[in-house]
Chains A and B, each alone.
Chain A
Amino acid sequence: GNSVTQMEGPVTLSEEAFLTINCTYTATGYPSLFWYVQYPGEGLQLLLKATKADDKGSNKGFEATYRKETTSFHLEKGSVQVSDSAVYFCALIDLTDSWGKLQFGAGTQVVVTP
Chain B
Amino acid sequence: DSGVTQTPKHLITATGQRVTLRCSPRSGDLSVYWYQQSLDQGLQFLIQYYNGEERAKGNILERFSAQQFPDLHSELNLSSLELGDSALYFCASSELGTSGIYSYNEQFFGPGTRLTVL
**Known contacts A42-B111, A44-B109, A93-B99: does B42 contact A101 (CB below 8 Å)?**
no
A99 and B104 contacting across the interface, CB-CB below 8 Å: no
The number of chain A residues with a CB under 8 A from chain B is 26
28 contacts between A and B (CB under 8 A): A30-B101, A32-B99, A36-B109, A43-B4, A43-B90, A43-B111, A44-B43, A44-B90, A44-B92, A44-B109, A45-B2, A46-B106, A46-B107, A49-B104, A89-B43, A95-B101, A98-B98, A98-B99, A99-B50, A99-B97, A99-B98, A100-B94, A100-B98, A100-B107, A101-B33, A101-B58, A102-B35, A104-B44
Task: Point out residues on B near A: beta carbons under 8 Å.
Answer: 2, 4, 33, 35, 42-45, 48, 50, 55-56, 58, 90, 92, 94, 97-107, 109-112
